[in-house]
């Protein structure tokens, strides 16, 4: 994927994806300080939102918190289910790029009626309903997205939560220039046409990987970008029963495969089902592998952007207008007032 060829640069989706490395390089970890000080007073952080505004940003934050042994618990849930929870001990972060997502507005409104004193918004736009009702709102620097599929905003949301956790726990966020370069490399990697062809012809595209939001977010993007059915298979779920109904017309894209489980996946899915497995990894695996840079503690951003590259190549190979899905909308369930 690149911006030199008309088949790519005519799409807002591709242009916005390609802005991501610059957004990463320019990100200011200190931009969270005014909110971090208030959030630190609560026992934990509750990260909510719908779709892409929650999947990768919140789940990666949970993973990173556990890996770093941060003392502040981090929890996530969709905004409607969160209405059933007691959140008084949590600093609540509600993410909505539009600032108009109905489920988010409903939850924040309810929390403010309960006199909750630490409800924060995360948007990509100024002058929104969420901004009006939250205690404080952080506006992303990435700007408005014209494509239906959220991309650059998802990465900046993830970086906001990452820097927030680090600020609360006194840990510096470093290496962003290098990360910007690595994500640019991941976005512009040449994908083997043979791999693209396998994915293009698959009846279902499964994504497997850690529960850190990467594979799950890519499964959602598969629907929006390639218009194919997809599913996220967490961890090693792919070899715990679902193989019974899989068939050889399907493909599984495995993000950062577990070394200890590759033979089992090969036995059950490649040999047993007859389907293809494509790996995305920093090193060769026993499967056809797309090799990506090693992002270290920022690896998930590199994995995510590499996944975008794969999906764009697949969508273009399918002859799809990447900017014009038939049913998907930029704001899935928009607050209309009242």
HSE on the CB side for 320, CA within 13 Å? 22
Predicted TM-score (pTM) of the model is 0.95
Compute the chain's Rg from CA coordinates. Answer: 20
Partner residues linked to 277 by β-bridges: 252
Reported as a single tens digit per residue, the pLDDT across 93-112 is 999 998 999 999 999 999 99
Reported as a single tens digit per residue, the pLDDT across 278-323 is 999 999 999 999 999 999 999 999 999 999 999 999 999 999 999 9
SS3 247: coil
Sign of CA dihedral 160, 122, 26, 213: positive
Contact (CB, 8 A) for 17 and 308: yes
Structural domains of the chain in order of their starting residue, each with its CATH number: 6-174 (3.40.50.10490), 178-317 (3.40.50.10490)
**Residue 197 corresponds to which tokens in the numbers above?**
């062809």
pLDDT at 333: 66
From the number of C-beta atoms within 10 Å of its C-beta (0-12, 13-18, 19+), residue 41 rates as exposed
pLDDT at 329: 55
**Which residues in the chain show pLDDT less than 50?**
none
Contacts of 306 (CB under 8 A, 6+ apart): 186, 187, 189, 280, 290, 292
pLDDT at 257: 98
pLDDT at 26: 98
pLDDT at 325: 75
From the number of C-beta atoms within 10 Å of its C-beta (0-12, 13-18, 19+), residue 172 rates as exposed
Contact (CB, 8 A) for 96 and 53: yes
pLDDT at 324: 87
């Amino acid at each position: 994927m690149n911006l030199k060829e008309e088949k790519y640069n005519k799409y807002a989706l591709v242009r916005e994806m390609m802005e991501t490395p610059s957004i990463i390089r320019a990100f200011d970890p200190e931009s969270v300080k005014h909110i971090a000080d208030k959030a630190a007073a609560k026992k934990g952080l509750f990260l909510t939102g719908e779709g892409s505004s929650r999947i990768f940003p919140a789940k990666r934050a949970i993973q990173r918190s556990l890996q770093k042994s941060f003392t502040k618990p981090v929890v996530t849930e969709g905004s409607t289910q969160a209405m059933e929870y007691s959140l008084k001990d949590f600093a609540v972060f509600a993410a909505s790029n539009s600032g108009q997502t109905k489920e988010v507005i409903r939850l924040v409104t309810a929390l403010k009626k309960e006199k909750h004193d630490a409800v924060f918004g995360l948007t990509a736009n100024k002058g929104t309903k969420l901004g009006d009702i939250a205690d404080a709102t952080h506006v992303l620097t990435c700007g408005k997205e014209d494509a239906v599929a959220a991309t650059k905003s998802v990465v900046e949301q993830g970086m906001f939560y990452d820097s927030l956790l680090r600020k609360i726990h006194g840990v510096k966020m470093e290496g962003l220039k290098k990360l910007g370069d690595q994500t640019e490399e991941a976005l512009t990697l040449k994908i083997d046409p043979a791999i693209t062809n396998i994915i293009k012809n698959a009846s279902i595209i499964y994504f497997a990987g850690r529960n850190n939001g990467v594979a799950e977010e890519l499964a959602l993007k598969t629907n929006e970008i390639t218009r194919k059915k997809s599913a996220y298979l967490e961890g090693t779920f792919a070899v715990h029963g679902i193989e019974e109904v899989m068939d050889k017309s399907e493909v599984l894209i495995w993000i950062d495969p577990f070394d200890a489980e590759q033979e089992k996946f090969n036995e059950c899915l490649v040999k047993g089902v007859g389907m293809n497995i494509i790996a995305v990894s920093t090193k060769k695996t026993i499967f056809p592998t797309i090799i990506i840079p090693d992002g270290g503690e920022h690896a998930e951003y590199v994995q995510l952007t590499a996944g975008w590259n794969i999906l764009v190549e697949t969508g273009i190979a399918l002859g799809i207008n990447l900017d014009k899905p038939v049913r998907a909308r930029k704001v899935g369930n928009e607050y209309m007032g009242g």
